[in-house]
Amino acid sequence: MPSSTDARIEALCERIRAFCERPITRESEDEIRGLAHELRMVIDEHVRLAKSSLNTKHAAIIARDQEREDSAA
């Protein structure tokens, strides 16, 4: 998994957890909504990067297997 997005997700979660320790005001509710939006965006990026990494690994495995088949023939 992408470590850069892991760290960003953890930082956002910590900021959200901090709001859970105190009463919700209109201002804090707005900030929580903003943090939730940012968290969704970071999670989307995290998933996109993970899929890209898996696709690259998959392509490398297919190429390796094809080379083995070609050299065995």
Could you please report the per-residue DSSP string of 3-60?
HHHHHHHHHHHHHHHHHHTS---HHHHHHHHHHHHHHHHHHHHHHHHHHHHHHHHHHH
Each residue's pLDDT tens digit, 7-20: 999 999 999 999 88
Give the count of domains, the chain. 1
Contact 68, 17 (CB under 8 A): no
Residues spanned by the domain of 64: 3-72
The band of 2, judged by pLDDT with boundaries at 50, 70 and 90, is low
Quote the pLDDT of residue 63: 93
Each residue's pLDDT tens digit, 25-56: 999 999 999 999 999 999 999 999 999 999 99
Quote the pLDDT of residue 59: 95
* Structure tokens belonging to residue 5: 């997005």
The band of 3, judged by pLDDT with boundaries at 50, 70 and 90, is confident
